Amino acid sequence: MPATDSLPRSVRVGYGSGSVATGAFGTVPGLMLLPYLTDSLGIAALAAGFIVFLPKAWDVVLNPVAGRISDRTVDPRGPRRPWLLRAGLGLAAGFALLFAAPDMAVGLEALWVLALFLACATAYAFFQVPYVAMPAELTASYDERTRLMTWRVAILAFTIMLAGATAPAIRDAVGGRAGYRVMGVVMAVIILVGVVSAYVGTRRAPVTAPQPGAGGLRDQLRIVATARDFRWLLTTFVIQALATGCMLAGVDYLARNVLGKDGASTILFVCFVGPALLLTPAWAAIGTRIGKKSGYVASSAFLAAGALLAATAQVAPAALVYLAVVLVGVGYAGCQVFPMAMLPDAAAVDARRTGSNRAGVYTGVWTAGETLGLALGPAIFALVLAIGGYRSSTDDEHVLQPDSALTAITLGFSVLPAVLVLASLWWLRRYSLSADEVDESVPA
């Protein structure tokens, strides 16, 4: 079926449900893997940061390839949907094993995590890239893509809250390494629910078959690199993903070492995602009124302001820190809605300009950039921990962290992300696509 201007609600919800899988995988390793390595397996912070970063760096290389492959997939179900199922099932299976390292020498345990995280990252690339490519083929409408992203981000926000709040709670309830193993299996089931829901929910979605451009992957990447507005948007998003990765990696450390309160990780996540659940439709409405770019700038300002307020965590009451994270959540909702709605606009303008649909290559590059940012975030946070003298330990040890480590945790969670978000706006100001220009790419 050809793409239409308006989509039925069932298709919006069906597509958005894929964010259950992307939200769980995007949240839990960023939140739990670094503490698992440093505070359960006893791996030094720098080595742990490398283990978290390497598989994601592999994704940076793999994502454009996955986009190219999905562009050229011929299947009665469409070019994207088969990959949702194939890769999604592999992702769920790999995640169930990621936190289940058997008792071995520390080096072998580190290799287990590295190998399984690499397998998960590979499966995720072949799920995420086709999934993100679909909106450009589902509808030709500028505003309908915003509505489609509103459903996706709302479900994503709910999943982040569900996974981010329950993962540490499950670990703490069971305790020790067994807690991590149980948590991994529960999160794998959640991922599986998202995979199957997206596959089934989009079975009747209108999809325009891609018409890949001529030339090899390198040729198409070179063409995509000439898309000026896409370049500025991608740079902004990658830098903000780096900031998000720092904050995500720091949540558990901030809760356990700085706030020192039971269940603080869960409270922080509820404060972070709760506003996003409520305000995602509001951000979409604001974007319709003032434009996506202006909405993106405003939401970025909210995120940065909340992060700066969180810098008081060592001296302020916990309630003020929670309030700061609420403000971060308000901004984060918009910082997901707007760029994800602007991406298919850039792909549509390129298709009009060149006569070739390169949505898969565009989203492959986009997802590679996002993956790089989210991977570098924990790695940089681990470097900040090492500079601050953070002391790794196993489940059987109780280590008192020096004041320098507490300061490093606080700054890595607050000031560093705020600076990154504000700096990213320098590139966003160059983005120039408007609704009129995008709608010109829609045939009359």
Residue in the structure block whose two tokens are 């596959």: 199
Q: Is the pLDDT of residue 192 over 90?
A: yes
CATH code, 73: 1.20.1250.20
Q: What is the pLDDT of residues 224-261, one digit of tens each?
A: 677 788 888 889 999 999 998 899 889 889 998 999 87
> Phi and psi for 354 in degrees, rounded to 5?
-105, -20
User: If residue 127 lies in a helix (H) or strand (E), which one and from where to where?
Assistant: helix 106-133
CA 54, chain centre distance (Å): 17
Q: What percent of the chain has pLDDT over 70?
A: 84
Upper half-sphere CA count for residue 158 (Cβ side, 13 Å):
13
Give the amino acid at 113.
V
Whether 369 maps to a domain, the answer reads yes
Arithmetic mean of pLDDT, 413-421: 96
Q: Is 2 part of any domain?
A: no
Among residues 407, 438, 218, 212, which one has the least CA distance to residue 312?
407
> Is 444 inside any structural domain?
no
The confidence score (pLDDT) of residue 351 equals 66
- What confidence tier does 2 reach under pLDDT thresholds 50, 70, 90? very low
The dihedral of CA 296, 298, 300, 306: what is its sign?
Answer: negative
Name residues whose C-beta falls within 8 Å of residue 6's C-beta, 6 or more positions apart in sequence. 139, 141, 144
Query: Token digits for 265?
Result: 């990780």
Does any domain span residue 243? yes
Model confidence band, residue 442 (pLDDT cutoffs 50, 70, 90): very low
Adjacent-strand bridge partners of 325: none
Q: How far apart are CA 206 and CA 3, in angstroms?
A: 5
- Containing domain of residue 86, as a range? 9-439
Number of Cβ within a 10 Å radius of residue 294: 13
Question: Among 173-182, 211-220, 234-243, 362-371, where is mean pLDDT lowest?
Answer: 211-220
What's the pLDDT at 216? 52
**4 in any annotated domain:** no
pTM, 2 dp: 0.75
What is the tally of structural domains in the chain? 1
Rg of the chain over all Cα atoms, to the nearest angstrom: 21
In a domain, 53, yes or no: yes
Contact between 364 and 67 (Cβ < 8 Å): yes
Torsion on CA atoms 377, 188, 190, 193, rounded to nearest 10: 120
Sequence length of the chain is 444
Q: What is the pLDDT of residue 381?
A: 93
List, for residues 66-75, the tens digit of each pLDDT value.
Answer: 877 877 777 6
Task: Give φ, ψ of 119 to 5 degrees.
Answer: -65, -45
Instruction: Answer yes or no: are the C-beta atoms of 198 and 21 closer than 8 Å.
Output: yes
Residue 136 lies in a domain: yes
Q: Is 3 among the domain residues?
A: no
Q: Higher model confidence: residue 424 or residue 157?
A: 424
